[in-house]
Chains A and B, each alone.
Chain A
Amino acid sequence: MIQKKVCMLGSFSVGKTSLVSRFVKSIFSEAYLTSIGVKIDKKVLRANDEDVALVLWDIHGEDVYQKIRMSYLRSMHGYLLVADGTRRQTLEDALALNERVVQEFGKLPSVLVLNKSDLAERWEIDSAGEAKLAEQGWSVVRTSAKTGDAVESAFTQLARAMLAV
């Protein structure tokens, strides 16, 4: 079976662990429990009529206390760049992180995930902003780890992009 290393990247408290948890175990917890270090999970999904085993590296969120070690990303095939749609700054931070990743590893398949779409009334990224990101070549997906909305789709899009390489 094809196996792909996928990294979850983004600021702290954007929902990376919740997205993995929703995708792998179909569960969600309201309580925010911050991640330290790395946790690796696996999940097989079907993309382009093929079974693909995703090895998901859930890496701690980056902030003033913890920086991401670029060595964690070695040999990755693609990544989900995750931002919290209700905190615009996390999108800026994610894009800055992406620049470092591209500088280190070149352009790799990736999907930009704007998580917490269930919190529509607090959403801070307007559709024009999203359109601009799409113009820049991003596949942008609004997800909700809480409701499960578009979570599978985000991983599937990434899997397809990785298979296309």
Chain B
Amino acid sequence: MSANSIIESFLAEQGYALFEYLGGGEFVAIGECPSWCDEIWGPEARNGKHVRLAERSAFLENFLVDAEESWRGAGSAGSGNWIESAASGREIPLEAFALSLDGKNILILRNLSSTFAEQQRWFQTARDSLLAHEKLLTEIQKKEILLHCIIHDLSQPLSAMSGCFNLLLLERLPPALKKFARDGLRESQRQESMIRGILSAFSGDLAAQQSAAASDAPAPNLAACAQQALEEFSASAAEKGIHLRLDPRLNPALDWRVVGDAARLDRIFGNLLENALRHSPKGTTVTIGVENDGAFVLAFVDDEGPGLPADQPASGLFALFAKGKSHSGKAGLGLYFCKITVERWGGTIGAETRPVGGSRFWFRLPRAAKSAESPAEEARAKSTTPTPEASRSSKPFKRLRVLVAEDIELNRELVMELLERRGHSASSAHDGIHVLAALEREPFDAVLMDEEMPRMNGLEATRLIRQKEISTGNHIIIIGLTGNSTVEDERRGLEAGMDGFLGKPIQMEKLYATLESLVQGTLSHASGQEAGETQASPQVGEHSGSDSESIAAQLRHTTGHNKKLQQSLIKIFLTDAPKTLAQIRRAVARKDAQKLATAAHALKGSLAIFGASEAVAAAQKLQTMGRAGDLEEARTEFRALEAEFTRIERELRDLRAKPKRAARPKPKNRRKR
């Protein structure tokens, strides 16, 4: 046996097939052809017969172009991997090389079967890791969206509520009314603590996200959570004429402990119940219950409403910003929250139309392994926030001149009122440009600067002020105000040159403490989170009061029955809000996304004061569309907003027209403008 034939046999053994190219598409095998060649191309490829490989393989037909080029240039070419199917159906991974040897044009085919599986495993692992990374990023992004939506939705009315209650408590009220005001303040602060709970749920890292399953906290009892949710919603159901009941088959003595935490379970039940009540006709029954489901516990909320929309898959209801056709919900976040929370705990969630009519929304959670029980009440603790009266005794060290920069007039009015009650002098600005102009005109001790304002935002204005101060050597105290109370927002504010930071809703104690401390110089880098704040314990369950209350009731509630303030708010709204609505209409017609976002943001803030949650949700959606530059659904959403707006406007006009006692007009020039 010659050396050549030994090499040829060795190569065949190793899975190589060698062909010489004869031109015109014809090849002839060199030496022994391995058996896989037969499998693919049959016996014609062996025994010195000429074979037209390109006609038998579309891949080789394509590679022949590269091969011929390489043979002409005396270089080499490689094909990369491909898979040929043998007649038996077996798939054979191959690779081809073209090179010139001894003046011959050689094609080498290599069977990769021996290494292919390992190569594939490597790619598989690498790509699985990439997918996992992408999924993680998407998850984080969703949480951020949620976080910002929730904060935006909830912070504006809270700001107004806290402010009104604080103001009320500064009045000489009869003891009974004072109690109501304290209760109102406490509830608004509890609501704020709920926002903080959501913040901590969504802004933490993944390890924190999954802490519920691994934490030492006792496992929550799902039946107890259902019972508690029922109690919380019974008044709201009764008001709508809906019978809300616990499933009579439920035996509370059984073990209903599951993976999760009570606070978020309450919120899940709250969302499902709120959804059921929204879609249930008067006189029907909503049933909440839990059932055994093997290693899981199944919780459900059944209603007798119209059932699920026929044209929408049930899974779509749990998508981000998903809303039914009626658009009767809020921002479309509730069910999405439920889904991601339940899934994080290893559970599943779904909805279906019941055979007897109505819908069933359900979720299933793994049973807990731990033995201790966690009453949901544990999550609730009394607020230790100091009362506004306590601050009345401590007078400010001096009367400060404060510029309040806030684009939403209602919020601006409330902050200014708080400042003036404290004995400070307050002026106002609507945007960053007004702030710069005001600072040119007169001196101030401090600026309370809203971060999000039209034309020039607070961060930009702060940077310009600080730039100018480089030449003057002055330093005015600037305190950022924002509805987004995240560490990142605070960092951006401080980086822009702000001295401190106050999250909305503004709390009187924090406002006074931060402002006065910073001006006095006792705090070098105080933030709203640190200055005098004592945080209430997490509050569970989303409050749904505004949906079910009339505007008049909501207004009375918000203002603590202060008619003067009510009339003032109504007047401001009726004067300004129609103009803002007109701006939105124009922006939609002209497809001006930026103007739409700005105007919708402004109107949302005003509507929130009146608890007009549907209109707020519509405005929020338009704002989101504007920011995303996606105005396809803007006309439809605007019509929804306009309809709600008209209703609200009509009610407010009625309220203005029929006060029991005519409201005195607000004194003009009360403040410097």
Complex CA gap A65/B81 in Å reads 14
User: Pick the contact of A12 from B65, B83, B130 — CB < 8 Å?
Assistant: B130
How would you classify the secondary structure of chain B's contact residues: helix, strand, loop or mixed?
Answer: helix
User: Pick the contact of B62 from A32, A33, A75, A124 — CB < 8 Å?
Assistant: A75
Query: Interface digits, A57-96 against B, CB 8 Å rule (1 contact, 0 not)?
Result: 1000101111001011011000000000001010000000
Q: Smallest CB–CB gap between A27 and chain B, Å?
A: 13
Contact B82 A38 (CB under 8 A): yes
Q: Is B59 an interface residue (CB 8 A)?
A: yes
Complex CA gap A89/B134 in Å reads 9
Contact B62 A121 (CB under 8 A): no
Contact A13 B131 (CB under 8 A): yes
Contact B315 A121 (CB under 8 A): yes
Complex CA gap A126/B631 in Å reads 11
Contact B62 A34 (CB under 8 A): no
Complex CA gap A72/B59 in Å reads 8
Given A89-B134, A121-B318, A128-B630, is A74 in contact with B123 using a C-beta cutoff of 8 Å? no
Q: Is B309 an interface residue (CB 8 A)?
A: no
Q: Is A36 an interface residue (CB 8 A)?
A: yes
Of all chain B residues, the one with the shortest Cβ separation from A64 is B130
Q: Is B454 an interface residue (CB 8 A)?
A: no
Of all chain A residues, the one with the shortest Cβ separation from B81 is A37
Q: Which residues of A contact B63 (CB under 8 A)?
A: 71
Query: Interface digits, B324-347 against A, CB 8 Å rule (1 contact, 0 not)?
Result: 000000000000000100000000
Q: Using a CB-CB cutoff of 8 Å, which residues 622-673 of chain B contact chain A? A: 630-633
User: Pick the contact of A128 from B58, B91, B123, B632 — CB < 8 Å?
Assistant: B632
Q: Is A39 an interface residue (CB 8 A)?
A: yes
Complex CA gap A122/B138 in Å reads 10
Q: Is B127 an interface residue (CB 8 A)?
A: yes
Q: Smallest CB–CB gap between A6 and chain B, Å?
A: 11
Contact B127 A120 (CB under 8 A): no
Q: Which residues of B contact A61 (CB under 8 A)?
A: 127
User: Pick the contact of A37 from B80, B319, B632 — CB < 8 Å?
Assistant: B80
How many chain B residues touch A (Cβ–Cβ < 8 Å)?
Answer: 34
Complex CA gap A69/B630 in Å reads 36
Q: Using a CB-CB cutoff of 8 Å, which residues 107-135 of chain B contact chain A? A: 116, 119-120, 123-124, 126-128, 130-131, 134
Q: Is B396 an interface residue (CB 8 A)?
A: no
Contact A34 B632 (CB under 8 A): no
Q: Smallest CB–CB gap between A72 and chain B, Å?
A: 7
Of all chain B residues, the one with the shortest Cβ separation from A71 is B66
Given A12-B130, A87-B134, A128-B630, is A37 in contact with B316 using a C-beta cutoff of 8 Å? no
Q: Is B93 an interface residue (CB 8 A)?
A: yes
Q: Is A40 an interface residue (CB 8 A)?
A: yes
Complex CA gap A72/B124 in Å reads 22
Q: Which residues of B contact A45 (CB under 8 A)?
A: none
Contact B124 A39 (CB under 8 A): no
Contact B83 A120 (CB under 8 A): no
Contact A12 B127 (CB under 8 A): yes
Q: Using a CB-CB cutoff of 8 Å, which residues 46-91 of chain B contact chain A? A: 58-59, 62-63, 65-66, 80-83, 91
Interface centre among A55, A61, A71, A121 (most CB of B within 10 A): A121
Q: Is B313 an interface residue (CB 8 A)?
A: yes
Complex CA gap A126/B632 in Å reads 10
Complex CA gap A32/B124 in Å reads 9
Contact B126 A65 (CB under 8 A): yes
Complex CA gap A83/B134 in Å reads 15
Q: Smallest CB–CB gap between B237 and chain A, Å?
A: 29
Q: Which residues of B contact A (CB under 8 A)?
A: 58-59, 62-63, 65-66, 80-83, 91, 93, 116, 119-120, 123-124, 126-128, 130-131, 134, 138, 313, 315-316, 318-319, 339, 630-633
List 9 A-B pairs, minimum CB-CB distance, nearest first.
A37-B81, A128-B632, A38-B82, A121-B315, A128-B630, A39-B83, A121-B319, A37-B82, A34-B124
Q: Which residues of A contact B (CB under 8 A)?
A: 5, 12-13, 32-34, 36-40, 55, 57, 61, 63-66, 69, 71-72, 74-75, 87, 89, 120-124, 126-129, 131
A-B contact pairs, 6 of them (CB 8 A): A36-B119, A63-B130, A121-B316, A122-B319, A126-B632, A127-B632
* Known A33-B124, A34-B127, A121-B313; 10 more pairs at CB < 8 Å: A5-B58, A37-B83, A39-B83, A40-B82, A57-B58, A71-B62, A72-B80, A74-B65, A87-B138, A120-B319
